[in-house]
Amino acid sequence: MASETTLFRARVPKKRLKNAEKILGQLGLKPGDAFNILLAQIELRRGLPFDMTLNATSLVSAEEQGTEWTNAFGPY
């Protein structure tokens, strides 16, 4: 038996959607697939699948960035 579905519409910046579609296409996904994955994760986790905060923190420290740069491109 097919599950019941509903149409969800949202306005997003055209450039953002185009960029996302390109990346998702490389993953073999469409935007609707990605949205379904997001909703499934929200259901499973009972919240967003990533942290949301007002406290800005860098993803990696300046030292880690420097090390990665050196490893990728050699010493300056």
- pLDDT (average), residues 34-49: 95
Q: Report, as an integer, the average pLDDT of 47-70.
A: 84
pTM value surpassing 0.75? no
In this prediction, what percent of the chain has a pLDDT beyond 70? 97
Average pLDDT for 16-27:
95
pLDDT at residue 1 above 70? no
DSSP state for residue 2 in the 8-state scheme: P
Residue 69, pLDDT score:
86
**pLDDT interval class at 31 (50, 70, 90):** very high
